[in-house]
């Protein structure tokens, strides 16, 4: 946080807003409409909170033109209030500026390369062949296996594990207890009812500006790599199996599970607790609503939903096939009813 904050005039210029209020007034943090004080920025993006505009004490509210007349305090007018608020919040609440250097309790292999501007916190372990770029932050308790590569300005929070060969791009944020590059779930059944482990010899490659939530796990590829493209945002407790490929700027909410070798396109949104079967293709610009089960590829952009309770597999498949035809069957029924009602012979009453 800046000690004296930032002026409303500077915010308006920096983020392309129209200011209605004193350009010299200053703010230094963000807050909810109902709790804000005169040194705070708030915003209105959801109409259900409009009633607070008349009573808020915020120093300035970010909102659209249609809402500006209802506000009792200065406003920053924009077509995208939530987006502008997010950018202002990033200015007022930047990540801590940690000093460069390696904590005395960290264990860094002699064959690792750590840029002098990187921050390596307490109890970190960095294996041989790792390359840590400029201004990287590695939080306490993180473990990096061998040959891990982390590009500049990426931040690892506490207790993150990056297994051998993991590659992270620039400006990524990896939240606590995430595990990236662990072995995929690969076992071949043998003839006596047991299982034979299939070696997982690939790795994980993550692009720039990716954020990965707490306790999310991303398995390394069995053959080839698991790939997370630029700008992907993953919530907490997500499971990404081996050889999955997630396209740029796709976002996933908590508890999504994606089975192996599935390819998900760009700019998709996948809601919480969605399950996606393996070896599928999901095209670009697909939205999947919460708790849906995806068991077939999706080749057309749009919004998809669907989940059914578990039952005997053969019966489930027959019912699922019939369910897919319900709309066509309903149209046939309507057509038959219309024909019945319009046919004089059918309507003739016989005493």
Active site residues: 242
Q: Pseudo-torsion of CA 64, 68, 71, 77, nearest 10°?
A: 60
- Count other C-beta atoms under 10 Å from residue 129's C-beta: 17
Report CA Rg, the chain: 27
Give the tokens for residue 268. 């998709």
Q: What order of strands is seen across the sheet that includes strand 119-120?
A: 101-102, 119-120, 137-138, 155-156, 173-174, 211-212, 233-234, 251-252, 269-270, 286-288, 302-304
Closest CA to 38 of 74, 2, 81: 74
**Polymer length in residues for the chain:** 351
292 within 8 A of 304, measured Cβ to Cβ: yes
- Count other C-beta atoms under 10 Å from residue 162's C-beta: 29
Rounded to 5 degrees, φ, ψ at 217 are: -125, 135
Specify the pairing of strand 143-144 against strand 161-162: parallel
Query: How far apart are the C-alpha atoms of 231 and 252, rounded to whole Å?
Result: 12
For residue 22, give the 3-state DSSP assignment. Answer: coil
Give the tokens for residue 128. 């041989």
Question: What's the Cα-to-Cα distance from 229 to each of 169, 173, 266, 310, rounded to whole Å?
Answer: 9, 14, 9, 34
Give the tokens for residue 184. 């995929």
Query: How far apart are the C-alpha atoms of 91 and 85, rounded to whole Å?
Result: 10
């Amino acid at each position: 946080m800046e000690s004296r904050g930032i002026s409303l005039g500077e915010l308006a210029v920096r983020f392309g807003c129209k200011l209605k209020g004193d350009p010299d007034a200053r703010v230094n943090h963000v807050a909810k409409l109902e709790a804000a004080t005169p040194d705070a920025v708030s915003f209105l993006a959801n109409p259900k909170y409009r009633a607070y505009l008349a009573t808020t004490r915020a120093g300035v509210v970010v909102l659209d033109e249609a809402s500006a007349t209802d506000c009792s305090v200065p406003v920053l007018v924009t077509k995208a209030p939530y987006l502008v608020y997010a950018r202002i919040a990033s200015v007022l609440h930047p990540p801590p500026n940690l000093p460069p250097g390696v904590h005395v309790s960290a264990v860094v292999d002699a064959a690792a390369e750590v840029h002098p501007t990187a921050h390596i916190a307490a109890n970190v372990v960095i294996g041989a062949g790792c390359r840590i770029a400029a201004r990287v932050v590695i939080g306490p308790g993180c473990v990096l296996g061998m040959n891990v590569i982390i590009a500049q300005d990426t931040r690892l929070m506490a207790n993150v594990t990056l297994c051998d060969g993991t590659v992270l791009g620039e400006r990524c944020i990896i939240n606590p207890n995430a595990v990236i590059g662990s072995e995929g779930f690969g076992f071949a059944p043998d003839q006596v009812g047991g299982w034979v482990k299939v070696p997982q010899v690939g790795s994980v490659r993550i692009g720039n500006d990716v954020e990965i939530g707490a306790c999310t796990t991303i398995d390394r590829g069995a053959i080839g790599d698991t790939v997370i493209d630029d700008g992907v945002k993953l919530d907490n407790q997500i499971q990404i199996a081996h050889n999955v490929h997630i396209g740029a700027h796709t976002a996933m909410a908590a508890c999504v599970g994606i089975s192996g070798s599935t390819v998900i396109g760009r700019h998709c949104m996948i809601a919480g607790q969605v399950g996606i079967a393996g070896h599928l293709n999901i095209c670009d610009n697909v939205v999947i609503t919460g708790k849906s089960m995806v068991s077939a590829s999706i080749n057309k952009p749009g919004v998809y939903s669907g989940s059914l309770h578990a039952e005997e597999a053969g019966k489930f498949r027959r019912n699922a096939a019939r369910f897919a035809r319900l709309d066509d069957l309903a149209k046939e029924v309507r057509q038959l009813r219309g024909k019945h009602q319009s046919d004089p012979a059918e309507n003739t009453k016989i005493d």
